[in-house]
């Protein structure tokens, strides 16, 4: 919401051509209850697209949002999200074999590199998200994961605003504006789209992280240690691949099979 507010505060003086539209809030019921879900129906709005005007509450909301967006005939749609509390901002591209032949999909990958954020290719095939269904209809759609939820992280707000200004500049809507910011992308990662992955714990205990979000790590590098309640080391978590740490779990307690670290892998 704050990123949208800041962009529209600035755009009044910067916009040269075109139109910019935004929903500052898409799930007011969840917002009021500090939840990503529509709490009265326990539905995930971003698993309800393209929606159904005669369907469930989430499907009706999704249908209204989706049809409104389609009416504007956009050249690009950005879906602004939060991630884990300890996460760096990054640009997320949908993954699906069914999208590979669609020109808008390749354009979306190009747009992801223009943000100055790390570009990440999702590894889950989700067919009921907002961005996936826009891509199916030939509309470039990119998700921006802009750091922690529940509180306003001003560094993440800055990353979100400047990444959007970079894109508006590339579209010719504002004067040339290109900047890097926030979390510098290592040279080895420039112009690459990394693959998303999560690393799981194999035991229970208290997690103590050894590498911060934004760090580039090598395969086999220690990332975290997991201790039991009495302070005995139960597991040392090692990097499975070279890549950049995107974020840490929101919880200090680990359980077997639970994700504790998110990566962008080369």
- For residue 134, what is the domain's CATH number? 3.40.630.10
Residue numbers of the domain that contains 234? 193-265
pLDDT at 80: 97
- 6 plus 98 within the same structural domain: yes
Residues 103 and 11 in one domain: yes
Mark whether 199 and 246 lie in a shared domain.
yes
C-alpha to C-alpha distance for 110 and 104, rounded to whole angstroms:
10
Residues 94 and 162 occupy one common structural domain: yes
> In terms of domains, do 224 and 94 share one?
no
Q: How many domains does the chain have?
A: 2
Note the pLDDT of residue 3: 96
Task: State whether 166 and 225 are in the same domain.
Answer: no
Looking at residue 179, what is its pLDDT? 72
**186 neighbors 193 (Cβ within 8 angstroms):** no
pLDDT of 147: 87
212 with 148, same domain? Answer: no
Question: What whole-number distance in Å separates Cα of residue 118 and Cα of residue 105?
Answer: 17
Note the pLDDT of residue 255: 95
Q: How many CB atoms neighbour CB 143 within 10 A?
A: 24
Q: Which residues of the chain have pLDDT under 50?
A: none
- Per the domain annotation, does 88 fall within a domain? yes
Residue 29, domain member (yes or no): no
Please tell me the distance from the alpha carbon of residue 93 to that of residue 102, in angstroms, as a whole number.
14
pLDDT at 266: 85
The reported pLDDT for the residue numbered 125 is 92
In the numeric block, which tokens belong to residue 178? Answer: 């290109």
Let me know if residue 119 belongs to a domain.
Answer: yes
pLDDT, tens digit, for every residue of 36-51? 999 999 999 999 999 9
What are the φ and ψ backbone dihedral angles of 53, each rounded to 5 degrees?
-65, -15
Q: Assess whether 251 and 128 both reside in one domain.
A: no
């Amino acid at each position: 919401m704050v990123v949208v507010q800041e962009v529209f505060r600035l755009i009044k003086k910067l916009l040269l051509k075109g139109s910019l539209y935004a929903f500052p809030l898409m799930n007011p019921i969840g917002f009021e209850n500090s939840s990503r879900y529509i709490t009265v129906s326990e539905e995930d709005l971003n698993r309800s697209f393209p929606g159904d005007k005669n369907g469930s509450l989430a499907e009706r909301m999704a249908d209204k949002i989706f049809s409104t967006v389609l009416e504007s005939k956009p050249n690009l749609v950005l879906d602004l999200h939060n991630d884990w509390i300890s996460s760096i901002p990054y640009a997320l591209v949908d993954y699906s074999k069914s999208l590979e032949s669609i020109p808008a999909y390749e354009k979306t990958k190009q747009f992801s590199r223009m943000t100055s954020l790390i570009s990440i290719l999702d590894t889950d095939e989700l067919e009921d998200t907002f961005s996936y269904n826009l891509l199916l209809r030939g509309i470039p759609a990119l998700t921006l994961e802009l750091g922690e939820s529940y509180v306003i992280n001003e560094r993440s707000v800055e990353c979100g605003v400047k990444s959007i200004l970079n894109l508006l500049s590339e579209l010719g809507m504002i004067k040339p504006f290109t900047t890097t910011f926030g979390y510098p992308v290592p040279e080895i990662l420039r112009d690459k789209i990394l693959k998303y992955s999560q690393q799981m714990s194999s035991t229970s205990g208290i997690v103590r992280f050894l590498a911060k979000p934004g760090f580039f790590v090598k395969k086999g590098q220690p990332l975290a240690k997991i201790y039991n309640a009495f302070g005995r080391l139960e597991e040392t978590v090692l990097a499975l691949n070279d890549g950049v740490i995107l974020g840490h779990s929101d919880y200090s307690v680990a359980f077997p099979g639970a994700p504790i670290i998110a990566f962008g892998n080369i």
